[in-house]
């Protein structure tokens, strides 16, 4: 919780600074005004996005006291910082931090590195890597000039809507190492919202079909729960159209038509068992992501699969790569009409045998997709599992080990390895709008902003890349001038 608050605080400060600088840009470019309106609205929207909590298992602190053969000079004081000692190890600076540690000696197998968020280590001769948390990545005060030994690493697990400019080739390729939702990245986080094979195949919440059919007397066949309305995927417009052809119980703020019990009306209740029990009564759940990119898969997909409800999924176009079996979700084709989809769902609603073919894998507890099976068996991190490293630990150690690998190579007179992020480590096509007639949306609606925001982010990415490759530090003013001279 403390971590979350710390991050939120940093985030708010960042946003305030960002807005101030953006205001400045207006002074020298009239066209900037349009972007300002867009950006400020985006910023406002971002304030409401679903925050993820990253907690570091206590394990780390315990490990610290267990390090054997510790150099005498490296005795840690209470807060984990150890003045003087850190220079015995490569120093790794979290430049836009995800965690709040002032200093920590991390152990990664045989290698140790000193991790800190203290930016004054920029000029320290042992500093070898800078880590950036994507959502908080700010163009201001980057660690420039970048020295030849400086690795840059990006950790970004969230939706593109939280920092579009990272999603373009000129920016993503500035980094050496990546951990993103893309399965192409160096540390793929594609299954970050799925705890285990066991939770996937579990029958804890599964209701027998006979009971679901009984419940159909009072419930719609389909349920939708979404309170982050009008995101880049334009899902609400699609769902609104779908609702003309099939009843949908919508409990969230978007397209709301049914209330949750009072004790669940708080958004923190979304992880409560009694909420899952409500969802599990339905035959179908609309699982629509907020953005449409390959490998961008969230709990929206995994939740219905865990509960034993058939997901009607709109999101990652390559979702088939990750589904437990080849018949476990109805995948929405955006080119097909919602009316057709409604007809299909209705046909399954009336035909028990056909409906059950989508739950066959669940009833047999069988994950036939070898890729998913292998990924969950082999990934080095756990999800909500205090007994295992989390993906932040694994990311930090990947960088620490790579830094050490090069140091060792240099020591042995070998050429150091080169790591380079590629475009497909973080990419997402421009957001598209559906073209259905809409009633409750109007021109102030957020849905019109995403495309412009995306186009703006392309210019920002080019400017950021040009300035960074110049390898001199730059001010926000210089950055915005560069953006608008594009
Ligand atoms: C950051 O590190 C410098 C030494 O490099 C130290 O003097 C300073 O107190 C540290 N700042 C914080 C907030 O710990
Ligand atoms: C789907 O998987 C089942 C069992 O794993 C297999 O028998 C079937 O041929 C597959 N169907 C398709 C269309 O791939
Ligand atoms: C990191 O990336 C930069 C820029 O692409 C490159 O010049 C440098 O050699 C890379 N460093 C390593 C250790 O891969
Ligand atoms: C447009 O939508 C906003 C928010 O939904 C609403 O407050 C406003 O009254 C609407 N304007 C018109 C002209 O319908
Ligand atoms: C750029 O670096 C120089 C030298 O380290 C410093 O004096 C200056 O304040 C920096 N400028 C910015 C915009 O950070």
SS (H, E, C) 346-357: HHHHHCHHHHHH
pTM given for the model: 0.83
Confidence check: pLDDT of 3 > 60:
no
Q: Which ligand is nearest to the CA of 121?
A: 1
Does 71 score more than 80 pLDDT? no
pLDDT at 359: 98
Task: Write out residues with Cβ below 6 Å of ligand 3.
Answer: 151, 176, 406, 418-420
Helix (H, G, I), strand (E, B) or coil at 311: strand
| CA of 91 relative to ligand 1 center, distance in Å | 13
Does 473 sit in the ligand 5 pocket, CB within 6 Å?
yes
Sign of CA dihedral 301, 305, 307, 313: positive
Pairing of strands 111-116, 104-108: antiparallel
Ligand nearest to the CA of 172: 3
Of 142, 138, 140, 81, nearest to 115 (Cα)?
81
Give, in order, the Cα–Cα distances in Å from 3 to each of 8, 270, 391. 9, 21, 16
Q: Among all ligands shown, which has an atom nearest to the Cα of 320?
A: 2
pLDDT score at 85: 58
15 has pLDDT over 80: no
Report, as an integer, the average pLDDT of 386-406: 96
Of the two residues 117 and 445, the one the predictor is more confident about is: 117
Block residue for tokens 């589904």:
323
Determine what percent of the chain is predicted with pLDDT higher than 70.
81
The distance from CA 479 to its chain's CA centroid, rounded to whole angstroms, is 26
Say which ligand is closest to the CA of 443: 4
Share of the chain above pLDDT 90, in %: 72
| Strand pairing class (284-288; 248-250) | unpaired
- Per-residue pLDDT at 82: 47
Distance from CA of residue 184 to its chain's centroid? 15
Whole-number Å distance between alpha carbons of 482 and 459:
9
**For 2-11, 209-218, 341-350, 386-395, which range has the lowest pLDDT when averaged over its residues?**
2-11
Assign 35 a pLDDT band (cuts: 50, 70, 90). very low
Q: Please write the tens of the pLDDT for every residue from 173-196.
A: 999 999 999 999 999 999 999 999
* Rounded CA separation 27/22 (Å): 10
Q: Which residue matches tokens 């030994």?
A: 149
Q: What is the pLDDT of residues 138-169, one digit of tens each?
A: 998 899 999 999 999 999 999 888 899 999 99
Q: What is the DSSP letter of 451?
A: H
Q: Compute the distance from residue 440 Cα to the ligand 4 centre, in Å.
A: 8
Q: How confident is the model at residue 267 (pLDDT cuts 50, 70, 90)?
A: low
Does residue 471 have its Cβ closer than 6 Å to ligand 5?
no
Per-residue model confidence (pLDDT) at position 51: 37
- How much is the mean pLDDT over the chain? 85
CA 452 – CA 167 distance, rounded (Å):
15
| pLDDT of 442 | 54
Q: What is the CATH number of domain 197-377?
A: 3.40.50.11660
Least confident of 35-44, 315-324, 335-344, 466-475: 35-44
Q: Which of 208, 144, 137, 218 is nearest to 363 (CA)?
A: 208
Tell me, using a 6 A CB cutoff, whether residue 475 lines ligand 5.
Answer: yes
**Separation CA 275–CA 263 (nearest Å):** 10
- In DSSP notation, 359-423 reads THHHHTT----HHHHHHHHH-S--SS-TTS--HHHHHHHHHHHHHHHHHHHHHTTPPPP-----G
Tokens 């020295």: give the residue.
Answer: 147
Q: Place 32 in a pLDDT band, splitting at 50, 70 and 90.
A: very low
Q: What is the pLDDT of residue 439?
A: 63
CA 468 / ligand 1 centre spacing (Å)? 26
Q: In what order do the strands lie in the sheet with 104-108?
A: 104-108, 111-116, 91-96, 127-133, 151-156, 177-180
pLDDT at res. 87: 67
- pLDDT of 86-115, one tens digit each? 668 999 999 998 877 789 999 999 999 999
Is residue 418 packed enough to be buried (19+ CB in 10 Å), middle (13-18) or exposed (0-12)?
A: exposed
pLDDT at 70 over 60: no
Interatomic CA distance for residues 302 and 362, integer angstroms: 12
- Whether the per-residue pLDDT at 268 is higher than 80: the answer is no
Burial class (CB in 10 A: 0-12, 13-18, 19+), 244: exposed
- Tokens 């034993």 locate to 308
* Ligand 2: lining residues by beta carbon, under 6 Å: 326, 368
Per-residue pLDDT at 441: 56
Mean pLDDT of the region 459-468: 97
- pLDDT at position 418, please? 97
Q: Phi and psi (nearest 5°) for 168?
A: -130, 150
Work out the average pLDDT over 204-216: 98
User: Span 450-455, mean pLDDT?
Assistant: 95
Integer Cα distance of 202 and 185 in angstroms: 30
Task: Name residues contacting ligand 1 (CB within 6 A).
Answer: 102, 118, 120-121
Average the pLDDT over 316-341 and give the result.
98
**Among 7-11, 130-134, 308-312, 444-448, which is the least confidently predicted range?**
7-11
Token pair, residue 142, equals 């980057």
Task: State in Å: Cα 271 to ligand 3 middle.
Answer: 42
**Per-residue pLDDT for 251 more than 80?**
yes
Ligand 4 atom nearest to 442, measured from its CA: 1
Cis preceding-peptide flag for 145 (omega within 30 of 0): yes
Collapsing DSSP to helix, strand or coil, 228 comes out as coil
**What is the rounded average pLDDT of the residues 301-330?**
98
- For ligand 5, atom 9: residue with the closest CA: 473
Contact 262, 361 (CB under 8 A): no
- Checking if the pLDDT of 436 tops 50, the result is yes
Extract the tokens encoding 368. Answer: 């036939």
Spatial contact of 284 and 312, defined as CB atoms under 8 Å apart: yes
């Amino acid at each position: 919780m403390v971590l979350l608050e710390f991050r939120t605080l940093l985030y708010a400060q960042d946003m305030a600074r960002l807005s101030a600088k953006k205001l400045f840009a207006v002074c020298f470019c009239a066209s900037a005004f349009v972007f300002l309106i867009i950006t400020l609205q985006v910023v406002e929207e971002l304030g409401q996005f679903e925050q993820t909590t990253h907690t570091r298992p206590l394990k780390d602190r315990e490990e610290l006291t267990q390090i054997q053969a510790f150099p005498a000079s490296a005795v840690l004081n209470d807060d984990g910082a150890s003045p003087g000692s850190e220079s015995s190890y490569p120093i790794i600076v979290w430049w836009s931090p995800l965690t709040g540690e002032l200093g920590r000696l991390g152990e990664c197998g045989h290698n140790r590195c000193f991790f800190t968020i203290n930016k004054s280590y920029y000029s320290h001769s042992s500093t070898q890597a800078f880590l950036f948390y994507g959502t908080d990545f700010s163009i201001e005060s980057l660690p420039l000039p970048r020295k030849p030994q400086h690795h840059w690493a990006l950790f970004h697990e969230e939706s593109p809507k939280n920092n579009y400019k990272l999603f373009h080739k000129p920016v993503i390729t500035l980094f050496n190492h990546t951990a993103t939702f893309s399965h192409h990245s160096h540390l793929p986080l594609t299954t970050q919202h799925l705890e285990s094979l066991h939770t996937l195949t579990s029958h804890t919440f599964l209701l027998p079909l006979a009971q679901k059919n009984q419940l159909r007397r009072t419930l719609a066949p389909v349920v939708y729960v979404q309170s982050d309305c009008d995101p880049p995927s334009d899902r609400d417009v699609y769902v609104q159209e779908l609702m003309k052809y099939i009843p949908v119980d919508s409990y969230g703020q978007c397209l709301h038509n049914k209330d949750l019990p009072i004790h669940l009306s708080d958004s923190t209740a979304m992880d409560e068992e009694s909420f899952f029990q409500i969802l599990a009564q339905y035959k179908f759940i609309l699982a629509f992501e907020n953005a449409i990119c390959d490998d961008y898969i969230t709990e929206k997909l995994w939740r219905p699969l865990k509960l034993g409800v058939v997901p009607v999924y709109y999101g990652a176009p390559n979702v088939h790569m990750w589904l437990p079996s080849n018949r476990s979700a109805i995948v929405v084709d955006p080119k097909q009409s919602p009316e057709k989809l409604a007809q299909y769902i209705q046909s399954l609603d009336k035909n028990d045998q056909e409906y059950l073919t989508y739950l066959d894998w669940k009833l047999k507890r069988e994950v036939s997709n070898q890729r998913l099976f292998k990924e969950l068996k082999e990934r080095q991190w756990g999800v909500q599992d205090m007994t295992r490293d989390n993906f932040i630990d694994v990311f930090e150690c990947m960088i620490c080990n790579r830094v050490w690998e090069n140091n060792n190579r240099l020591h042995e007179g070998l050429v150091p390895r080169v790591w380079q992020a590629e475009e497909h480590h973080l990419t997402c096509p421009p957001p598209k709008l559906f073209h259905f007639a809409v009633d409750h949306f109007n021109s102030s609606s957020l849905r019109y902003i995403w495309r412009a925001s995306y186009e703006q982010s392309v210019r920002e990415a080019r400017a950021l890349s040009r300035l960074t490759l110049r390898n001199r530090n730059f001010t926000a003013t210089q950055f915005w001038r560069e953006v608008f001279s594009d």
